Every structure is written in structure tokens, then in C-alpha cells.
Structure 1
Amino acid sequence: MSYPETIKVGFSPCPNDTFIFGALAQGLFTPRLRYETFIQDVETLNELALEGKLPLTKLSFGVFPAVISTYELLPVGAALGFGCGPLLVARKKPVNLARIRMAVPGLHTTAYLLLRFYLPELGQVVPLRYEKIIPAVVKGEVEAGLLIHEGRFVYQQYGLTALVDLGKWWEKETRLPLPLGGVFIKRDLPYEIKRAVLADLRESLNLARKNKAALWDFIRENAQELNPEVINKHLETFVNHYTYDLGEQGRKAVEVFLKWCQSRGLLEDLPQKFLFDGEAV
């Protein structure tokens, strides 16, 4: 069959994403398809997915309920695990979370959705790009900030203190890893194309696992925090066995997350199949 000339793929500049897609983006192997890469913060990718703009993209699981009829999850490339959840930080304790002005990394992020699960009644919410949240808290523009990505490793350097670890809260409630982000593909693409994409992503990841050094410059030039120790800590936290394959426990965690969304009116019907695994249909 004929493939489209290119598959446009969106991912964020965060180290775990550039690790996943780096070999593909830099042409370190010959893929089955041709790709055009588009690097943007995850909330921009979430917003584009709401319009169905990108055929292949990294997304927050927080936006999945809103796009589940358009996209399905791939079993590779996920940011999912224990001890990796968003942190709510402030300059001082205590604060009344129901009355404060709080910065969040986007209204469609998993972090914000988790915060709503944890505390349905919030004060004033200020959406900011994730890298602008720590400066906003430090300057007193907001009283608290919800941190994702590299921010969770460096906030103490700015004199901030953690109020809530939403990952630990999720783990206590579910005893499952927290689904933060995943790689999603449009449902209406032909089966053969989706299967080829999945194979290319697996090859990109395997090359990254075998030779991180070949990707280091690409990872570092896109990272918000340039300290090698922070970058490596980020990779150790967000790239794990669930990234290479969700497995049974990973799929269960996503299913439970979607059921939580359904119980709170964010998802009308849970599709029988929300994951493309490449198996024959």
C-alpha cells in the first residue's frame, strides 16, 4: 500500500522525550517511514491533539479522555512509574490551597488533572509553561506552583518547599504506577502504517538504550536544565521498563486512570480498545 510522504511527530524538549525520539529525529537508523519532527512543550501538543492536528504525538494522559475517540495509545514511549509524580511547591508552609493563586503547567496536563482529583476546590489557577512556574513562585507572582519535568529536581535550589507529592498520593490510592504521558497515534491511520510507526519507535528506543552518548548533544540542547546530573536524574526517573513496554501493570494503571476520569464525568464511555499493540485484528 502507499504511505503518506511523511508522518509528522510531536514531542516535548524534555530529556525523556528527546531520548525516546532522538535516534529517529537524528537519522541514526533507516526507518520504515519518513518523519517530520515537531518539538514543543507538552501543553501545546495537548492543544493540537484536541484539534487532531498531529498523526503521531507525545501527550499528557490528562488530555486522553478528551481525545480518546481520535487517538489511541502506543505501548512504547510512556512516562509512567513510581516516584515520578508532579509536586506542588510554595515559598513557605502552610497555605490554604483552596484560596491561593496557583501556577499549573497547562489545563490539559496530567499534573493539573491529578490536582483536581486531589483537591476539587481550587483557588485561582494560572496556566504557565512549565519552565516559567518556578520563577513565578520565587517572584511572588503566584503563591504555589505545580511542577513537572526537570522542575521537580531543582525546586529546593530556589528556596521552595514541597506541599504535596501527587505521585505518592496516587500510588497510595491505587498501588499502581502513575501514568504521566504517552505516545499516541491517530486511530484513523491505516493499520500497516501504525504497525510501521510502532516498529520504528521501538528501534529508536533500543538504539537510545544501547548508546545514550550518541544522543547526548541532542538531549542537552533541548533540555531546560543543562546540568548533566539533572538530565541524568530526569532520565533515570522517567525512562524505565514501562517506557520500553507498558506491560500488564502499565496497561492496568492507564485503565484505572481512565476509570477515575469516567467516574468524575470527564469521559463518557471507556472504549474497549484504547491501545494499539500491533497485533493482528
Structure 2
Amino acid sequence: MEMIIAHTPDPDDAFMFYAMFEHKIKTSFEYRQVVKDIETLNKEAINNLYDVTAISANGYIRVSDKYDLTASGASFGINYGPIVVAKKQIDLKNAVIGQPGTYTSSFMLYRMFNDSREYKEIRFDQITNEILKGTIDAGILIHDEQLKFQDKGLIKILDLYDQWRAYAGDLPVPLGFNAIRKSLSLEDKLKYREDFENSIKYAFDHEDDAVKYAMKYSRYNDFELERKFIKMYVNELSIDFGERGKKALEMYYKKAAERNLISPFTPVIV
């Protein structure tokens, strides 16, 4: 049996899938990959195109009738999360904010705690350029863009993790997930999870090789930069986020519902 897996061209995703796609481990299925940015995958998920797809915590809400979340492969921010950058300190309430996608976890996180005059959806790797051009006042940064904005003369004006921590304590920030087709048998879902968990463990045990593989998707030709980014978002919760990750997700959706951004929502996790 072949499974089609859609993931992002981000080094953390590639790092986790390295052993599966490069046949470093024995797997229950053959795997074929599709690589697209996260907001494209968030939007495509409604069409149920892939057996497994990367999905944002926010994006999952609209496709929970088609997909279950897997407890493996998640990206949680432990002590850090998305940030907001600008040329200088500004009043966010009256600002035009660049956001990396309507269904991204970071945009939902921003709106849980902040209000702004206007939002513009901009591909995540173009947000800093749009700030510099003056088309937006500030932007929400995700992925390895969080590690490069200072090189362009921008400053961090808001750390969304700080706002999350004030609300949720030491729970990690829910960001990226993997979703598996609800129509698959439970047996096949669990076999997939075992393969993916083994792939992540292999990457941890062969870090240099896995980072080297992930570099082919990198936007920056800087091995140590990408290693740093990967280790920010691939952590102990990536193998199995367990009760701690589940609690964080529940808090995330609870806050969004309190702000009337979504209806009350409970994810299905396998």
C-alpha cells in the first residue's frame, strides 16, 4: 500500500520525514511525498487530497470531518513561538499587520491576544521584505524567518509566546501538526504513526545526516542556522505529544472560542 504524504518545504518537517523517505528504516507502507507551503496545504486539506498532510492547529478546525490529528510529528514551541517584527516600535492596534496565512496557527495566536486595524495575507518568507517596502507596518514571523529578521535591520516588537505563557502557563504553544485521513482504518493509522515515530527517533539519533537532508529545502545555505531552527520545533513532543500537548491544544481552542474566533472545538487525535 502506498500513502501520499504532503508536508512543507521547511527543515523541521523534512528532518522528521528523512528516515521514511530515504528508506533508512523499515516501514509498513510505501510513501510518496508532496511538498507545498503550509498555507497551501491548509487550504487544500478541505479537498481531502492526501492520506497525510501537514496542517496548522487553526487550519485543522475546518477539516476535522475528514482528518484526525496524529500525536506524532507535531511542532510545539517550548519557551518560544511566533514573533512580530517591525522597523520600530509601533501601536499595533492602528497597524497593518502582515500575516502568513488565514489558517495558520500563528495568525490565530496573534488574534487571541491582539487587535489590529488591518491584516494582509503574505507568504511567510516575503513578510520582512514587505515591511521594508512599507506596504505593511509589522509582520508575524514563523519558520526560520524568525532567525534572520535582525540581519535586515528589523526589531522584535512582540513575542507571542510571552502572551501565551501569561494565559497558559508552561504549556507549549501548538503550531504545526500532521493529519491523517479519517477514512483509513485504525490499524493503518497506528501503523503510520509507528513509522513516523521511528523516523523522528532515527533523525534524532543521526542528527547531522537528517539536517543535511533537510538542507535541500532550506531557504538559507547555513547548516548551523537550520540545525538551530529544527531543534527549536522538533523536540520531545514531536514523537508523541501526549497529555501535555493535548492540554495545550485544548487551551488554544478554548482561548480562540472565548475571543469568538471559532466555535467551541475538540480535536480528534490518534
Shorter-chain TM band: over 0.9
The equivalent residue for 1:164 is: 158
**d(CA) in 2 for partners of 1:139 and 1:25?**
39
- Asked if the contact 2:212–2:223 (Cα under 8 Å) also holds between the matched residues in 1, the reply is no
Structure 2 residue corresponding to 1:41, chosen from 37, 40, 51: 37
The answer as to 2:137 corresponding to 1:135 is: no
**d(CA) in 2 for partners of 1:190 and 1:69?**
15
Overall identity of the aligned pairs, in %: 27
**d(CA) in 1 for partners of 2:261 and 2:129?**
32
The equivalent residue for 2:246 is: 251
**d(CA) in 1 for partners of 2:106 and 2:264?**
22
Aligned AA for 1:216?
A: V
- Asked if the contact 2:5–2:52 (Cα under 8 Å) also holds between the matched residues in 1, the reply is yes
The answer as to 2:116 corresponding to 1:126 is: no
The equivalent residue for 2:173 is: 178
Superimposed CA distance per residue, residues 204-238 of structure 1 (whole angstroms, 9 cap, x where no aligned partner): 11111111232233211101222122111102211
The answer as to 2:88 corresponding to 1:85 is: no
1:263–1:69 Cα change, 3 Å: farther
1:261–1:101 Cα change, 3 Å: closer
- Asked if the contact 2:197–2:240 (Cα under 8 Å) also holds between the matched residues in 1, the reply is no
TM-superposed deviation, 1:81: 2.9
- Asked if the contact 1:84–1:238 (Cα under 8 Å) also holds between the matched residues in 2, the reply is no
**d(CA) in 2 for partners of 1:35 and 1:266?**
36
- Asked if the contact 1:48–1:54 (Cα under 8 Å) also holds between the matched residues in 2, the reply is no
The equivalent residue for 2:103 is: 108
Structure 1 residue corresponding to 2:27, chosen from 25, 31, 44: 31
1:262–1:55 Cα change, 3 Å: farther
The equivalent residue for 2:203 is: 208
**d(CA) in 1 for partners of 2:164 and 2:264?**
23
Q: Which structure 1 segments of 5+ residues have no match? A: 277-281
**d(CA) in 2 for partners of 1:256 and 1:186?**
24
TM-score (norm 2): 0.94
The answer as to 2:189 corresponding to 1:194 is: yes
SS of equivalent residue, structure 1 residue 125: strand
SS of equivalent residue, structure 1 residue 255: helix
Aligned AA for 1:153?
A: L
**d(CA) in 1 for partners of 2:193 and 2:84?**
35
**d(CA) in 2 for partners of 1:29 and 1:189?**
23
TM-superposed deviation, 1:10: 1.0
**d(CA) in 2 for partners of 1:6 and 1:265?**
40
**d(CA) in 1 for partners of 2:108 and 2:156?**
18
Structure 2 residue corresponding to 1:237, chosen from 218, 232, 237: 232
The answer as to 2:52 corresponding to 1:56 is: yes
1:215-234 equivalences under 5 Å are 215-234=210-229
SS of equivalent residue, structure 1 residue 98: helix
RMSD: 1.6
TM-superposed deviation, 1:168: 1.6
SS of equivalent residue, structure 2 residue 93: coil
